Chains A and B, each alone.
Chain A
Amino acid sequence: MTGRARARARGRPPGQETAIPSVGAASVQQTLPSQPPGRQQPQQPHVPPSASEEPGGRGRQRGPQSVPQDFKTIGLQISAGFQELSLADRGGRRRDFYDLGVNTRQAIEHVQESKTGSSGSMIKLTANYFRLTSRPQWALYQYHVGYSPEMEARRLRSALLFQHEELIGKTHAFDGSILFLPKKLGNKVTEVTSRTRNGEDVKITITLTNELPPTSPTCLQFYNIIFRRLLKMLNLQQIGRNYYNPSDPISIPNHRLMVWPGFTSSILQYEESIMLCTDVSHKVLRSETVLDFMYSLYYQVGEERFRDTCAKELIGLIVLTKYNNKTYRVDDMDWDANPQCTFRKADGSEISYVDYYKRQYNQEITDLNQPVLISQSKRKRGGMVPGPVVLIPELCFLTGLTEKMRNDFNMMKDLAIHTRLPPEQRQREIGRLSDYIQKDDSVQKELRDWGLSFDSNLLSLTGRVVQGERILQSGNVFDYNPQIADWSKETRGTPLISAKPLDNWLLIYTRRNYDIANILVQNLFKVTPSMGIRMNKATMIEVDDRTEAYLRGLQQSVTPDTNIVFCILSSSRKDKYDAIKKYLCTDCPVPSQCVIARTLSKPQTALAVVTKIALQMNCKMGGELWSVEIPLKQVMIVGIDCYHDTLSGKQSIAGFVSSLNQTMTRWFSRCAVQGRGQELVDGLKACLQTALREWFKWNKYLPSRIIVYRDGVGDGQLNTLVNYEVPQFLDCLKSVGKDYNPRLTVIVVKKRVSTRFFAQYGGTLRNPPPGTVVDVEVTRPEWYDFYIVSQAVRTGCVAPTHYNVIYDTSKLKPDHVQRLTYKLCHMYYNWSGVIRVPAPCQYAHKLAFLVGQSIHREPNLVLSDRLYYL
């Protein structure tokens, strides 16, 4: 619904809604209107965020939640204090965003020598990477610094240590106990004496603990810290994890938005060298405060729905405070509190928020009756239990986009002009960072002092373009234009592989849409014959435009023989859609198609839209559209994706989809709804079990290979996957039978990567064509991983998808795994073209999204062999 058919008719492939570069930190998928979040009274002490607090707020960290957080990640010796020292940034969280130290390749025997594929033609590429070089024999010297008598305060420890700058040198990094130096001190153990303010002599012992080679994990973290220091020196503003340039903002006054250009950066060990990966990032800021936003909401929805709407719109958003450079996630709102409430300061005195902000930051709070926002800080600091942070709406600015804004086509269009940079321009912007670094004297000095330098040119490398697939449809074979990776024209008018008849179907509409309904039926009669779909006249049901009326219509008219229900909705009201979907997916399992009247009303696009809808309906009823050649036999493909519902009770939903036949045209689906404190993997195990049973029913034997494409894994969660999820899959397979021993491959699919490739055509840069595979240079040595650019984009830069084979007993050649993956990107039936991820992942995403947004529990299994969730 919500104009998806329209979007497809316009030619926006699925999975590309996210192709707008990471705009803002606002988390997606927030507009669930279900019950308002439980308003727990936040416990004392209420604390306004002071300089000493760290917010935990970040959106988008998704993945198996509540899995034991037992990170035995190696090489993370850099302490929390260190990161703060160097950047005063929000480092310190021990989470390893880069999944360092997860070495999965070593366990996969057949890729020890080589993990590269071979097929396809070579293509010259540039990637958004810069090599980091250090002078020969470079090492980082790590010292432990001890004090006798023991000194507590970090500042004092630093002050005392740096009384000996002539010994240590000007270039150093110190967190209070660990000291990094670019040079080696004369002795392994050095003892010096310093005097405190009180005239007390303190003995300081500096002991060499480590000589770190440039490639050690600690060094990598260290590089990142240094690099962030450099960004700061360049006067870039840190927001969240990235740095932005506020001096040249793009303002979009129509929507009160401001976009700051900036950079993401990370330095890691890649296949052959240590490199800086940097990409353009855009931060969307809004020039209105939360209070302004609340006022306008109030005028919109009125008194009655005000609180609920506020909660719905605001909770989960990231706000930026007026008085410091920190972002917080809004977790709750406290309507019983207001700025005149008091809190206890660290020194024990009570003060009201109004007075506090006036005195501390000279910030006037004018509306004394506003509620307050609550942010649960997740981090522990200095042994203190993190308490809720209280924020005043008037002093907070909104950042990022709300779901409502994302659905505003015009707005996203306005935004895309600025954020979707074509390859040439993107490369130029990335080059600007390099320029800044090369041209700034103090930055160069800092780098020189540490003995480091960056290449000034982007990395050049070679990729391969594998040949396009041939589309098979009812005995016909089609080649498609590889540049646009779309075959809707080619296959038009060709019978489908399997067409399901519309013998008995319902069409529900309101009186106002009577004409539209009739035109729809006429148009369906026009387009279905060539597809091979047999069709009878619909049972037409006219209802009032109320949710109950629709439901009553359904209850009265749906019979066991009903093939499909078609609902024409007069608006994109979500509650109506949700109610219909919920009823028809759980209580009364029948495939359904909901379309907004407006989508059907434009004569010039009507036929194109109806064609797409007919195809979609056919899939929902269990029909098959096309296939590609898949040489691998007896293989079951699984796709998994997650939806995280942060609003209603924080449940997560995993969509699970598995193939049922050799041609990968039919898919079984289930989903696992994971409540608080449950482990997602338990549900997945059950899903896999039923999937195998279903496969057996269809094929009369069990698959000899299982290939899992696992999407929805957040940064830093790889370890959990390797250590918990994969063993559970293996357990599950073992439990099927003693002599059942299929080969398992688990591939982690990641869409949100900052890697970008540019293809060199003569003097210009373009997007690499669909089918571009990269498995050298920018991959990680400890992984069996590769990138595929499978889709084509019309605007901006194409984002490659990262595939990481974390477990593999298939003994399949890397080339075959890459080819199979690319083939599967052709199999998504809601788009007659190649998409960003293998079809099962996109199916799993659709399923999880439908369940998470509308149904909230597992759909009826009667539907499980059809693509009813499209």
Chain B
Amino acid sequence: MDKNFQEEQFTGIIKFTPPLYKQRYQFIKDLVEKYKPKKVADLGCADCTLLWMLKFCSCIEVLAGLDICASVMKEKMHRLSPLPVDYLQPPERSLTVTLHHGSVAHKDPCMLGFDLVTCIELIEHLEESELKKFPEVVFGFMAPSLVVISTPNSEFNPLLPGVTLFRHPDHKFEWNRVQFQSWALEIARHYGYSVEFTGVGHPPRGMENVGFCTQIGVFVRKYTQTSESAQSETPTEGVYKTVFRAVYPSLKDEKYLQNAVVSEVIFTAQIIKRRLLDRLMSEHEEYNDDTTERKSKFQPLMNCFSEDLGKLVVEKSMEPFVKGSVVYIPLTTIFSFPKVIQLCGTFEKLCKLIAGKVTLSSDGSAMMFNTEHE
């Protein structure tokens, strides 16, 4: 990730490329790629940009955001909604995105069970009383296996133009490295975490001693939690208000799985049927004064098959057949298609999912198509 941190020659004006906030988000994204957490919460999620970036990470199944200000969350929260494509081709993984309105100084059971909790540029906005409760809420109560906390490094401030006291008027404090690290180490020790320090935003050449512009602490829980001891005093009532919730379609949901399977089955069966009929027809119709035209008309129906698929279908026991005006396609034929196998897993599951959705022969072993109207 080094190449992300290109600093300009120090000319008195510090400019980060990519911008510092993006570097912070990228840092989290890289961390997610490395640890593959399933449940991620972003405390102080503001306009949900980080959550939006994280929703594309395929390992994550639960995303939650928390902010003290509901209106800033609401402004752009709709980009956390599923996209049309998520419905068109539901992915395997499930994903639920929830936004909560509340304070990091309060405990709410909805924040339990997370793998990763991120607090990007959050702590410096906390009042002293809130900051005091913060470690207990995040490390004691939520107790995720991974916590990331970032905050400004005040040693860097002299290099930033126009910064007199703090970088933002709402900041209650800005710490230097020693202050942050001792705070962090104390927490780590108390709650059984190990912590490593890093940061983003390299100082200009010759000024390396000031450290990163943003300092980051990565906390890893030392022991896997066995009992729920830490949550013995679990508050039963939620204090956060849910402002947004989106459940993404997924194949784990029977409804979407069934849709996907039925679609796939009918589509493949149609192709097989067409191919069978065409073959019969061309055998039937000996004379043919317009070969080119026939070809262009019938070939489309043979597409979508890779070579090996075509062979599979030809196997004797699975061969589809025509009786009268009805085409029979054995379910075993259909189950030989990789996509169908992949979706259903077992033959029994296939039968279960398509039951009632397609017309089957009396013994239930084949799909039936009436070709009278064609």
Contacts and interface: CB of A to CB of B under 8 A. Distances in A.
Interface in B260-298: 262-267, 270, 289-290, 293, 296-297
Given A287-B88, A361-B56, A362-B57, A299 B167 contact: no
A174 to B, nearest CB: 11
A296 B304 contact: yes
B58 A362 contact: yes
B296 A299 contact: no
B296 A301 contact: yes
Given A199-B169, A253-B267, A362-B57, A285 B300 contact: no
A573 B165 contact: no
Contact of A253 (B18, B78, B84, B262): B262
A16 interface: no
Contacts of A200: 162
Given A88-B79, A256-B263, A545-B290, A197 B169 contact: yes
Nearest to B245: A235
Interface string A297-316: 00111000000000000000
B342 interface: no
A254 B270 contact: yes
Given A254-B270, A322-B85, A347 B76 contact: no
B214 to A, nearest CB: 15
A573 B293 contact: yes
A448 interface: no
A299 B298 CA distance: 11
Nearest to B82: A246
A511 B289 contact: yes
A249 B259 CA distance: 10
Contact of A299 (B17, B58, B88, B304): B304
Contact of B88 (A235, A296, A397, A571): A397
Nearest to B304: A296
B87 A249 contact: yes
A323 B91 CA distance: 13
Given A237-B81, A362-B58, A545-B289, A300 B303 contact: yes
Contacts of B57: 362
A810 interface: no
Contact of B76 (A88, A362, A510, A573): A88
B263 A287 contact: yes
Nearest to B263: A253
A285 B296 CA distance: 26
Contacts of A244: 84
B178 interface: no
A260 B167 CA distance: 48
A363 B168 CA distance: 36
A545 B263 CA distance: 39
A766 B302 CA distance: 45
Most buried by A among B84, B169, B267, B297: B84
B89 interface: yes
B178 to A, nearest CB: 25
A502 B176 CA distance: 101
Contacts of A676: none
A88 B82 CA distance: 15
Contacts, number: 105
A347 B263 CA distance: 44
Interface residues of B, number: 43
A320 B85 contact: yes
Interface in B159-200: 162-165, 167-169
A260 B84 CA distance: 10
Given A88-B79, A324-B83, A196 B304 contact: no
B229 interface: no
B293 A285 contact: no
Interface in A585-608: none
A401 to B, nearest CB: 16
B299 interface: yes
A286 B87 CA distance: 11
Contacts of A321: 85
A483 interface: no
Interface in A524-571: 545, 570-571
A678 B236 CA distance: 73
| Contact residues on A (Cβ < 8 Å of other chain), bracket | 35 or more
B293 A571 contact: yes
A291 interface: no
B87 A300 contact: no
A512 interface: yes
A325 interface: yes
Interface string A79-113: 00000000010000000000000000000000000
Contacts of A246: 82, 84, 87
Interface string A428-451: 000000000000000000000000
A296 B300 contact: yes
Contacts of B89: 287
A230 to B, nearest CB: 12
Nearest to B170: A197
Interface string A161-199: 010000000100000000000000000000000011111
A379 interface: no
Contacts of A361: 56
A198 B163 contact: yes
Nearest to A305: B296
Given A246-B87, A299-B304, A198 B82 contact: no
B169 A570 contact: no
Interface in A333-386: 347-348, 360-363
Interface in B69-106: 71, 76, 78-79, 81-85, 87-89
B267 A256 contact: yes
A67 B131 CA distance: 64
Interface in B294-326: 296-297, 299-300, 302-304
Given A254-B270, A296-B303, A199 B83 contact: no
Most buried by B among A251, A287, A322, A347: A287
Nearest to B3: A349
Given A235-B81, A253-B263, A323-B83, A196 B169 contact: yes
Nearest to B303: A299
A739 to B, nearest CB: 62
A385 to B, nearest CB: 24
Contacts of A320: 84-85
A634 B49 CA distance: 69
B92 to A, nearest CB: 14
Contacts of B79: 88
Contacts of A323: 56, 83
Contact of A397 (B71, B85, B167, B297): B85
A198 B302 CA distance: 66
Interface string B242-272: 0000100000000000010011111100100
B89 to A, nearest CB: 6
Contacts of A197: 167-169
Given A235-B81, A246-B87, A296-B304, A254 B56 contact: no
Contact of A195 (B18, B169, B300): B169
A258 interface: yes
Nearest to B270: A254
Nearest to B78: A232
Interface string B124-154: 0000000000000000000000000000000
A687 to B, nearest CB: 39
A478 interface: no
A424 B36 CA distance: 52
Most buried by A among B17, B76, B87, B89: B87
Contacts of B162: 198-200
| Closest 3 A/B residue pairs (Cβ) | A299-B303, A253-B266, A253-B263
22 contacts: A196-B169, A197-B167, A197-B168, A198-B162, A235-B81, A235-B246, A237-B81, A237-B83, A237-B84, A253-B265, A256-B263, A260-B84, A285-B84, A287-B263, A296-B303, A299-B302, A320-B85, A323-B56, A347-B18, A510-B289, A512-B289, A512-B290
Given A285-B84, A571-B297, 4 more contacts: A88-B78, A199-B165, A249-B87, A324-B83
